[in-house]
Amino acid sequence: MSDTPGSAERPAFPPGWHLTLIIGAFIVLGLLVWQLSHVLLLVFAAVLVAVLLRALAELFERVGWIRPPWSILLSALVIVLALGALTALLGAQVYGEVTTLADELPERIDSVGDRFGIDDLRGQLMSHLQEMGSSGGLLGQTASYTLAVLDAATTLLVVIVAGIFIATSPGKHRDGALALIPDGPRKRARIAFNKGGRALRQWLLGQLASMVLVGLLTGIGLAVIGVPSAIGLGFVAGLFEFVPVFGPILAAVPALLMALSEGGTTALWTVLLFIVIQQLEGNVIQPLIQRRAVDLPPVLLLFSILAFGILFGTLGVILAAPLAVFAYVLVKELYLRGVLGEQSDVPGGD
């Protein structure tokens, strides 16, 4: 029996082509994510803004006389008005303190260098900063700084607007992201996303409260000790508290430089103040504030900040902690419970 032309078999693909195709798709996806990493970080920043807006909006919704999207817009308006009132009350004083700190810091550095016998300490620091920055004249540097400020302001505005849109319909945006996942695991992925969102809200609100308390304690403590620009230094300490582990260390540097110029005793009291505040923050404030939030292992948090800082720079350092919180919840829900079957507690659960 002879074969007819229609019965000829099609040439088979080479063995293993399915695996090659899958590996190639993952490589392309990884390269795409890497190229868009900055945009993805900004998307996550917008999610944090949305989480904050939703937390405040729920307070208004519980009253019963307002519903989304008006509760979201009211939340944004309240935050803007609160920041405006805070700026009107303390803005001029904080700005003056920070400006004074920036003006006096070079002289304080010289004073520290003279005290410890380090020749031209300020010149050495400036040379290192110039090596890290771009070369050019004063006009070029001024233009570069201006463009950087404008770029940061534009990025912040985009993140805030995107956060408002996400907050008005979080379910729609969540389901849009989950549409990329097959039907089978989509239900558990939705549960994991919901728990991750609740964990982020608990962590973010707790971190904001911790920032306020640490900033107040630092400013008051430095003022009592007699360190110049205490309010500005307290403001800096409160902002840097958003970045765990490294933020408090960086915030202590300008305070210590200012204190060293006042004398060794003042510097010693400043070091003791920061140690006491950090011990209080780590052993009292954080356990009380974050008791219902994510109990993230310190080592995991430390290496998350290092990894994201190396990969994505300053923005990665700022967002490393909340990213670690969200990833920690996903791993516990999707892998430990979904794959291994462990009945472990997952942060953000009901």
- Flag whether 124 is in a domain: yes
- Rounded to 5 degrees, φ, ψ at 182 are -60, 160
Q: Is residue 17 part of a domain?
A: no
Q: Predicted confidence band at 136 (pLDDT cuts at 50, 70, 90)?
A: very low
CA distances from 81 to 1, 66, 75, 236 (A): 89, 19, 10, 22
Residue 298 lies in a domain: yes
pLDDT(135) > 70:
no
Question: Mean pLDDT over all residues of the chain?
Answer: 78
Q: What is the pLDDT of residue 292?
A: 60
**Residue length of the chain:** 350
Choose from 54-63, 182-191, 235-244, 259-268 the range with maximum mean pLDDT: 235-244
Q: What is the mean pLDDT of residues 87-98?
A: 63
30 in any annotated domain = no
Report yes or no on 133 lying in a domain. yes
End-to-end CA distance of the chain: 71
Closest CA to 238 of 220, 259, 257: 220
Cβ-based burial of 294 (10 A; exposed 0-12, middle 13-18, buried ≥19)? buried
Residue 320, domain extent: 37-337
Q: What is the pLDDT of residue 5?
A: 53
How many domains would you assign to the chain? 1
Tens of pLDDT, residues 288-306? 776 666 667 788 888 989 9
Cα 44 from Cα 262, distance rounded (Å): 43
- Domain annotation covers residue 5: no
The yes-or-no verdict on residue 254 having pLDDT over 70 is: yes
CA distance linking residue 114 with residue 117, whole number of Å: 5
Residue 347: left if φ>0, alpha if ψ -120 to 50, beta else—which one? beta
**Residue 32 belongs to some domain of the structure:** no
Q: Does any domain span residue 270?
A: yes
Torsion of CA 253, 258, 262, 265, to 10 degrees: -20
Taking Cα atoms as reference points, which of 189, 194, 200, 203 lies closest to residue 337? 189
DSSP classification of residue 293? S
User: Mind listing the pLDDT tens digit for each residue in 18-28?
Assistant: 667 777 777 88
Cα–Cα distance for residue pair 321/212, rounded to 1 Å:
18
Q: How confident is residue 133, by pLDDT bands cut at 50, 70 and 90?
A: very low
pTM exceeds 0.85, yes or no: no
